[in-house]
Amino acid sequence: AGFRFPPDVIVLAVRWYLRFGLSYRDVEELLAERGIEADHVTIYRWVQRFTPLLAEAARPCRHAVGGRWFVDETYVKVAGRWRYVYRAVDQTGQVVDVYFSARRDITAAHRFFDQAIGATKVTPVEVVTDRAATYPIVLEELLPAAWHRTDRYANNRVEADHGRLKAWLRPMQGLKQDRSARVVIAGHGFVQNLRRGHYELAA
């Protein structure tokens, strides 16, 4: 309500941006080729406003997350500063959750697990991480019954998934603000799960 463009146009623009690693000006150009004159700033506002709403609307149709979590953090540059993205995928390749943080420390890891467990309502029975010193401390507190694995190469699944995030971000001409970066990185995980069939939206 209150938007000049019809919902189908807005959703299509948001999907293009989150799916194909385009800049906002790229999406503006693609819409213009189809006779839709929407400024790139307008498209940015659509992405920021509607990405969380679309993910929340789809949440009841999401497949249950598995009990084996592969957890790792990666880094992205936002306005010239390094930021950290905690991510987990389960044994089926579903992105469990994403947490964007200015720091890589025990507090950030703790918040990531709190958020992931709260959002999915799943308590993992096995957690695979690298050998970072923060994870045993957090897991001992939050998930003492879970099997914590740190075997070499065991975490390749989530590390390969980081590569998909980095490849998607590369052509987008950089992230400018922490707030907007948080939305688009979470949106990437949502669309990735859609593409992998982890939602039953037709049901």
Quick one: tokens of 24?
A: 């906002």
CA 84/CA 65 separation, integer angstroms: 23
98 forms beta bridges with: 87
Q: So what's the pLDDT on residue 101?
A: 96
The torsion defined by the Cα of 91, 93, 94 and 95, in degrees rounded to 10, comes to 100
Instruction: Read off the pLDDT of each residue in 158-162 and give the average, rounded to a whole number.
Output: 90
- Which residues, other chains included, contact 138 with Cβ-Cβ below 8 Å and sequence gap of 6+? 106, 109, 110, 113
Q: Return the higher-pLDDT residue of 175 and 198.
A: 198
What's the start-to-end Cα distance of the chain, in Å? 26
Q: What digits encode the pLDDT tens for the residues 84-119? A: 999 999 999 999 999 999 999 999 999 999 999 999
**Residue 153's pLDDT band (cuts 50, 70, 90):** confident
DSSP code for 15: H
SS3 assignment, position 149 = strand
Instruction: Read off the pLDDT of each residue in 70-92 and give the average, rounded to a whole number.
Output: 95
Residue 117 φ/ψ, nearest 5 degrees: -65, -40
Upper half-sphere CA count for residue 201 (Cβ side, 13 Å): 14
CA 27/CA 39 separation, integer angstroms: 9
**Residue 166's pLDDT band (cuts 50, 70, 90):** confident
Q: What digits encode the pLDDT tens for the residues 3-42? A: 889 999 999 999 999 999 899 999 999 999 999 999 999 9
Instruction: Read off the pLDDT of each residue in 170-184 and give the average, rounded to a whole number.
Output: 86
Q: So what's the pLDDT on residue 30?
A: 97
pLDDT above 60: residue 203 = no
Note the pTM of the prediction, 2 decimals.
0.91
